[in-house]
Amino acid sequence: MTRAFLNVERSASGKRWEPRLTDTRLAEAIAQRHDLPDILGRVLAARGVGLDDAEGFLNPTLRGLMPQPAAFRDMEQGAERFAQAVVGAEKIGVIGDYDVDGVSSSAMLQLFLRSLGRDCAVHIPDRLTEGYGPSQQAVAALKDQGTELLVTLDCGVMAHDPLARAAELGMTTIIVDHHQASAALPQAFAVINPNRQDDVSGQGHLCAAGVTMIFIAAVNRRLRQLGYYREARPEPNMLQWLELVALATVCDVVPLKGLNRAYVTQGLKIMARRENPGLSALADIARLKRKPDPYALGFLLGPRLNAAGRVGNAGLALELLTTRDRGRASQLAQELEKLNRERQAIELAVVDQAAAQAEAMLGQERLAPVLVVARKGWHPGVVGLAAARLKERFNRPAFVLAEDRDGRLAAGSGRSIAGVDLGATVRAALEQGIIVKGGGHGMAAGLTLEVARLGDFRAFLTERLAEDVARCASPALAIDAAVSAGGASLDLIELLEQAGPFGSGNPAPVFAFPAHRVVYADAAGTDHIRLTLAADDGKRIKAIAFRAMGTELGELLLSERRFPLHVAGRLTVDDWSGSRVPSLQIEDAARVA
């Protein structure tokens, strides 16, 4: 076993600190060949970047990473059918998921059609009354509106019965999805999904919006070949919608590798221009004054958009992303802000109750590899968020399910840890008849089951995932390097940003600050702690520990003043006061041995 970083065998969070990179030879080679600072070479090597791949990693481009549509099963035939519908002025209907990925995908397709002088009817299911994906009622409603071509976005790959009904009603269906699929696919003209079992595109890491962008590009190319564009109807600039792809990619927590890196890198540049009235208004209401980054997308903009589908009407988020009226955009942003505050209050109550139930469960069976908690009265719109909180707190996959009024069915979401595939597990449970409905991808899944079968589901998860969880849930924190308060400069942060965007699959560098004293600490908000750390030479750095109140880490940060601590976290820029200064987002701390 590698020696613990700074000899921290057990931190305040119960973790062992370990060096992310143990062999520095590749880091040195990358730095030398590409004329990079040593610390940047170290960060790249620790993330699996090869000697010949560093240039492409640091400068990801769509031109270099965008796959040909033919690489995907059904992509070209789906694009041909859609293009013919545009040329023939057929009525197009869309069913999109209610999360950021689905709404962004729906917005992109609608904006694309509007740029062509066409439009579509978009249906975003109500999370409470319809649940996830296409329903028979939604399909029938779109048919009543005259829909001839039905497109499902970020959903549909498991919707066998509703799409069979669409065929009965005479509609042609194109599925654009990214969730894991069974061998048997729904009845559809085209099933475009890099995670269908017979797709060999190698693009399974894309979110639905990422696949939708390729689909739109394929349609656009086919329309060009058909002579659809002319002087009075120019070809649209599709790059303008990369900001929506970036937003969905970050919020859906798909790995930031390959094409996803290019999507987010280029999309953030588009977003910084603030040309989309809805996103601009949402940034204003979220008090986002700095240049947008993955944190802003994932923690400021995304939750406000998701609030519409969680505790309100997801159509509000769709309208926000597609409106050209800045006054209306401002009104919609304010509505989403109110819904997000409501969502936060509901979530807090559910998380507290779910955590108490999980604690009781673990008290009886501390070795349970996967948490499954359920209760009547929990709001279905926040169970996924609660599952994420349980996963973070207990360092294992977690499902949070809301029981219906009669206590017969429970529906909800699960969130996983790296290396434990929940989507495949839920699909297997569905195939074995343990659950009624379910699907998802590696890190997140949704399902419905009979309450009477909760015990069967827990037993199935234990049997299937115990070994994977034991292998992947070892409490360790990977440290990239040690720095001091004086060395944590804006120049260092800007240097490290070259290895971004950071997120799932490309973690932000974590630095250890050895033997720093807490010279100030106090509560910030309901559960955060704001601090100032000082090194032996007197240099200081601002810091914040999110959701640390009531934890062992929080108690240590608030109480320790006599002795220095080893503190670990991610470097960010604090510009709330109008001036840009380095700041540390604390992830862990430990007493100096």
233 with 376, same domain?
no
What's the mean per-residue pLDDT of the chain?
A: 94
- Rounded to whole angstroms, the Cα distance separating 460 from 454 reads 10
Residue 201, helix vs strand vs coil: coil
- Rounded to whole angstroms, the Cα distance separating 160 from 135 reads 10
pLDDT score of 129: 85
Instruction: Outline where DSSP puts E strands in 35-83.
Output: none
113 with 138, same domain?
yes
Q: Specify whether the CB–CB gap between 321 and 105 falls below 8 A.
A: no
CATH assignment of the domain containing 136: 3.90.1640.30
98 with 136, same domain?
yes
- Rounded to whole angstroms, the Cα distance separating 21 from 26 reads 10
pLDDT score of 506: 93
Tell whether the model's pLDDT for residue 275 goes beyond 70.
yes
Give the tens place of pLDDT for each residue, 413-447: 999 998 899 999 999 999 999 999 998 888 899 99
207 with 134, same domain?
yes
Domain boundary pick from 196, 219, 239: 239
Kind plus residue range of the DSSP H or E element containing 250: helix 242-251
Q: What domain count does the chain have?
A: 3
Task: Note down the domain range covering 422.
Answer: 365-474
Query: Omega of the bond prior to 501 within 30 degrees of 0, cis?
Result: yes
- Rounded to whole angstroms, the Cα distance separating 403 from 312 reads 20
Residue 433, helix vs strand vs coil: coil
- Rounded to whole angstroms, the Cα distance separating 580 from 490 reads 8
Give the tens place of pLDDT for each residue, 299-321: 999 999 999 999 989 999 999 99
**Confidence class of residue 365 from pLDDT cuts 50, 70 and 90?**
low
457 with 500, same domain?
no
**Position 390, amino acid:** L
Q: Where do we find the tokens 């949070």? A: 400
Q: What angle do CA 395, 253, 500 make, to 5 degrees?
A: 105
**Interval 198-205 mean pLDDT:** 96
Give the tens place of pLDDT for each residue, 369-388: 999 999 999 999 999 999 99
Whether residue 58 is contained in a domain is answered as: no
Least confident of 161-170, 357-366, 541-550: 357-366
Tell whether the model's pLDDT for residue 154 goes beyond 70.
yes
95 with 231, same domain?
yes
pLDDT score of 364: 56
Least confident of 194-203, 282-291, 468-477: 468-477
As given in the structure block, the two tokens for residue 471 are: 């292998």
pLDDT score of 63: 92
83 with 212, same domain?
yes
Q: Specify whether the CB–CB gap between 370 and 465 falls below 8 A.
A: yes
CATH assignment of the domain containing 466: 3.10.310.30
- Rounded to whole angstroms, the Cα distance separating 364 from 366 reads 6
Whether residue 301 is contained in a domain is answered as: no
97 with 216, same domain?
yes
Whether residue 445 is contained in a domain is answered as: yes
Query: Phi and psi dihedrals of 590, rounded to 5?
Result: -150, 150
- Rounded to whole angstroms, the Cα distance separating 320 from 305 reads 9
pLDDT score of 366: 58
pLDDT score of 385: 93
**Cα-Cα end-to-end distance for the chain:** 19
Radius of gyration of the chain, Cα coordinates, nearest whole angstrom: 24
146 with 221, same domain?
yes
